[in-house]
Amino acid sequence: MASNPTTVATGSGGPAVDGQRPLRADALRNRARVLQAAEALFAAEGVGVPVDVIAEKAGVGVGTLYRHFPTKEKLYEAILIERIAGFTADARRRLGSENPGQAFFGFLEDLVAQSSLKRDLINAMAGAGVEFEVVAAEAKLALQAAVTDLLVVAQRAGSVRSDVTGPLVLSLIGATCVAADRPGQAASSNEMLAVVCDGLRVTGAGR
Amino acid sequence: MASNPTTVATGSGGPAVDGQRPLRADALRNRARVLQAAEALFAAEGVGVPVDVIAEKAGVGVGTLYRHFPTKEKLYEAILIERIAGFTADARRRLGSENPGQAFFGFLEDLVAQSSLKRDLINAMAGAGVEFEVVAAEAKLALQAAVTDLLVVAQRAGSVRSDVTGPLVLSLIGATCVAADRPGQAASSNEMLAVVCDGLRVTGAGR
Amino acid sequence: MASNPTTVATGSGGPAVDGQRPLRADALRNRARVLQAAEALFAAEGVGVPVDVIAEKAGVGVGTLYRHFPTKEKLYEAILIERIAGFTADARRRLGSENPGQAFFGFLEDLVAQSSLKRDLINAMAGAGVEFEVVAAEAKLALQAAVTDLLVVAQRAGSVRSDVTGPLVLSLIGATCVAADRPGQAASSNEMLAVVCDGLRVTGAGR
Amino acid sequence: MASNPTTVATGSGGPAVDGQRPLRADALRNRARVLQAAEALFAAEGVGVPVDVIAEKAGVGVGTLYRHFPTKEKLYEAILIERIAGFTADARRRLGSENPGQAFFGFLEDLVAQSSLKRDLINAMAGAGVEFEVVAAEAKLALQAAVTDLLVVAQRAGSVRSDVTGPLVLSLIGATCVAADRPGQAASSNEMLAVVCDGLRVTGAGR
DNA sequence: CATGAATGAGAATTCATTCAT
DNA sequence: GATGAATGAATTCTCATTCAT
């Protein structure tokens, strides 16, 4: 269940998922709307947005929101998982590329580019404590696996030095994303990414 | 650094600073206590801590706290400014070093090491919007200047490549700090920093 | 008593009762199920149980529940009426007994014994205000009549003093039931009942 | 602490109680107001009254109410304890009476009479679960002790039969009070009490 | 000046009831 | 008729900020 990233990434609206009986058409639509509204609002105003506001933007009552996500935190989770799954799918897609180095670094660029749009979500993850991590763990592991695959290929091709690991790469990218979203940031995420990528490349110097 | 009340108070309320009349001795002590308590609590529990709790830990009434910091946000600011000033001083101290490269990278290590202890404060800054930045700007500019000085020297010595700027360096370090504080992070701040530093070094490859 | 659905449904919705058209067989069955589930849950968890929970335990949708009982309060009522009717039948059954005193006091024991199992329902009645009483009045009057009959016979036989009335007896028993259900109650309902029964017997003293 | 019933019964407003530093004058007044408003509203409308309403009736903000009673349940408790303490004091006052039987039964009458005015509070106790009982336990034990004292004297004087205990008496009175408050009750609390009291008197018959 | 009591606008969550499927 | 999704008013509780003592 939910272990197939592709399915999960179908994201906001695929019918017949998850072992539960498929949701009714309207329920499905509402769920998607809530997810969409929440994502937008979290991105725009941070995770502080009241649930009422999310519900209103989604055009549903709070009750409906709570029917789908019994807790505000569950809502974070859902969005988070969906996004992670999206990235995982992206990584898998790039796996067959002819130029592994380009595939790898291109993936990182994607990650950073997309994340800049979603201010604060990752911070929300950070703040939400342990339970949270547990639930998102599955999705995260899938992403790690995919990134590691991509990384290993690039390393074999000599485009990335051999002493870095998938998790380290993800941490670095996460850092770049989070930092780039901070207001008043002097450097763009691209500038930062460039340095990080250089650090990841094979180098003769400095080691 | 923050353990010397006098130093702490220097921020924006020390005696005979700032055009305001100098504070009475006890007022000064209270201000320092609040700052210290707030720093500790923000670090330990995040910026969500209620002001009452801070006041209690500081051993003063809320009223007193509010006399010194008319807003919770102003309190963040004060702490922030204080810390930035500390880093600035650190940078200046290293400026005369005989080994500029080591001075520069050592400074970055300090930055990361200390920041890891202060969970959530930087995120708070990030979340607090524009007003916030304005007030802290002065302190930030001072830090940028100091870092830039340190950087330039290192660049002249050939230890850092010439196309990076002080602000970019700060952004990268900020990224590393923020990311490292996220729970469940796979990589340590040191691992991340290592990659970033490699990216900052002079390299023949990849460019 | 409440274990036979047919009996349960007799309350105010059985086939061809009440001037309404007789319910379809499945409707009848659903009504009975709801009643049964509600009785069990009210007894176990108090009247606070959400209707959804009742519906679920009954194996029907909330909508169905509401078709039969247009209000949660109506559901209380129905259960109440059903139980009162059960007691009434019990009283009537005992009316022909050879030992009127024993019949009377035995009936009271039954009342108390059964009520102890139904925590909170009687309290709910109490709290639900006037409307409520109006509807249940019919059932109550029937019970009063039956009890009065039983009482009169016992009084004629000299087993109960002559200055008490049916309603007073019912109030006393009600008191015992309600009180016995209160948690942390020091005395058992039986102990209380014993005193009350002594008070009801013919006595030379104290009057 | 709080073990002296008289002090406790000073009830809503005595200064310098409880080992805590005495409350400020306004705080004390507000606490008393809240208690008074809550008692009135619980009596009039049951324990369902929203806290906002209580606060409004008391003429304070909700925040103030919560400062004094950190939970709605704590508010029940406070009222409850106060009332129990009042009864305890009543019992103690009667202890020196020349006519023990009259003292005992008179006390019971008082209990019933006063309780009729306070609808629902005792039910609230019942519903509030275990924690609740724990806190009120001290007050309850004091009452039990006082009632037992009164009872024993009356038993020695031959006015009450010897096989009843203080807790049983309290349960019986509790039953009468609760029952009498139920709307649509046919019998008055006095009628019920009369029977109960007869049951408590020394009797030759029926045993 | 210091204190901490008072304030009240939210915030998250629940649940009786309605209504589209 | 049955279902369960949708609704949103109501509820309890929190916490930044003000103000009487």
Tell me if C146 sits within 8 A of C107, measured CB to CB: no
Residue A12 confidence (pLDDT) above 90: no
Site from A138, A151, A171, A203 to mutate, B interface, most B CB atoms within 10 angstroms:
A171
Confidence of residue B205 (pLDDT cuts 50, 70, 90): very low
Judged by CB atoms closer than 8 Å, whether chains meet at A199 and B202 is answered as no
pLDDT for D203 equals: 63
Tell me if C86 sits within 8 A of C1, measured CB to CB: yes
Residue A163 confidence (pLDDT) above 80: yes
Tell me if B64 sits within 8 A of B26, measured CB to CB: no
**What positions of strand E are covered by protein, i.e. any atom < 7 Å from a CB?**
1-21
pLDDT for C75 equals: 92
Residues 183-202 of C with CB under 8 A from D: 183-187, 191-192, 194-202
Q: Cα dist. B162→B158, B202, C54, C123, D154 in Å?
A: 8, 8, 72, 82, 102
Q: Which residue in chain C has the smallest CA separation from D172? A: C192
CB-nearest partner of A185 from B171, B179, B198: B171
- On whether any CB of chain B is under 8 Å from the CB of A46, the answer is yes
Mean pLDDT along residues C6-10: 40
Mean pLDDT along residues A113-142: 61
Higher pLDDT, B14 or C159: C159
pLDDT for A124 equals: 45
- On whether any CB of chain C is under 8 Å from the CB of D207, the answer is yes
Residue B14 confidence (pLDDT) above 50: no
Tell me if B84 sits within 8 A of B140, measured CB to CB: yes
Residues of chain D with pLDDT under 50: 1-19, 119, 123-130, 204-207
Residue C140 confidence (pLDDT) above 60: yes
pLDDT for C129 equals: 46
- On whether any CB of chain C is under 8 Å from the CB of D44, the answer is no
Q: Which candidate, D62, D57, D164, D54, places its Cα nearest to that of D105?
A: D164
Residues 54-73 of B near strand E (Cβ < 7 Å)?
60-64, 66-67
Mean pLDDT along residues C50-73: 96
Distance of D56 CA from F5 C1′ (whole Å): 37
Confidence of residue C13 (pLDDT cuts 50, 70, 90): very low
Tell me if A136 sits within 8 A of A144, measured CB to CB: no
Do chains D and C touch, with touching meaning 3 or more CB–CB pairs less than 8 Å apart? yes
- On whether any CB of chain C is under 8 Å from the CB of D154, the answer is no
Task: For residue C133, say whether its CB is under 7 Å from any atom of strand E.
Answer: no
CB-nearest partner of B164 from A46, A181, A195: A195
Compute the Cα dihedral for D20, D25, D30, D32 and give only its sign: positive
Residue C179 confidence (pLDDT) above 80: no
Rounded Cα gap, residues C115 and C105, in angstroms? 15
Task: For residue D24, say whether its CB is under 7 Å from any atom of strand F.
Answer: yes
Judged by CB atoms closer than 8 Å, whether chains meet at D201 and C197 is answered as no
| Averaged confidence pLDDT in chain B | 79
pLDDT for B131 equals: 52
Rounded Cα gap, residues B99 and B96, in angstroms? 9
Q: What are phi and psi of C32, to 5 degrees?
A: -65, -40
The distance of A21 to chain B (nearest Cα, Å) reads 33
Distance of C128 CA from E14 C1′ (whole Å): 20
CA-CA-CA-CA dihedral for A12, A16, A18, A21, to nearest 10: 120
A184 contacts on B by Cβ (under 8 Å): 130, 133
pLDDT in tens, C76-124: 888 888 888 888 999 999 999 999 999 999 999 988 887 655 545 555 4
pLDDT in tens, A79-123: 888 888 888 999 999 998 999 999 999 999 988 887 655 545 554
Rg (CA), chain D: 18
pLDDT in tens, B140-197: 888 889 999 999 999 999 999 999 999 899 888 888 877 766 555 667 888 899 999 9
- On whether any CB of chain B is under 8 Å from the CB of A91, the answer is no
Task: For residue D25, say whether its CB is under 7 Å from any atom of strand F.
Answer: yes
Residue B107 confidence (pLDDT) above 90: yes
Q: Which residue in chain A has the smallest CA separation from B105? A: A206
CB-nearest partner of D179 from C164, C171, C203: C171
Neighbour subunits, C (≥3 Cβ pairs < 8 A): D
Mean pLDDT along residues B119-126: 48
3-state secondary structure D88-151: HHHHHHHCCCCCHHHHHHHHHHHHHHHHCCCCCHHHHHHHCHHHHHHHHHHHHHHHHHHHHHHH
pLDDT for A62 equals: 97
What are chain A's domains?
Answer: 21-70 (1.10.10.60), 72-207 (1.10.357.10)
pLDDT in tens, A196-206: 999 999 764 44
Do chains C and A touch, with touching meaning 3 or more CB–CB pairs less than 8 Å apart? no
Q: Which candidate, D119, D96, D120, places its Cα nearest to that of D107?
A: D96
Mean pLDDT along residues B109-114: 84
Task: For residue D67, say whether its CB is under 7 Å from any atom of strand E.
Answer: yes
pLDDT in tens, D16-72: 444 456 667 889 999 999 999 998 898 788 788 999 999 999 999 999 999 999 999
Confidence of residue A42 (pLDDT cuts 50, 70, 90): confident
pLDDT for A136 equals: 73
pLDDT for C127 equals: 45
Distance of D78 CA from F21 C1′ (whole Å): 27
Judged by CB atoms closer than 8 Å, whether chains meet at C167 and D186 is answered as yes
pLDDT for C112 equals: 84
pLDDT for D4 equals: 38
Which amino acid would we find at residue C89?
A: A
DSSP sequence for C113-159: HHHTTSTTHHHHHHHTHHHHHHHHHHHHHHHHHHHHHHHHHHHHTTS
pLDDT for C9 equals: 42
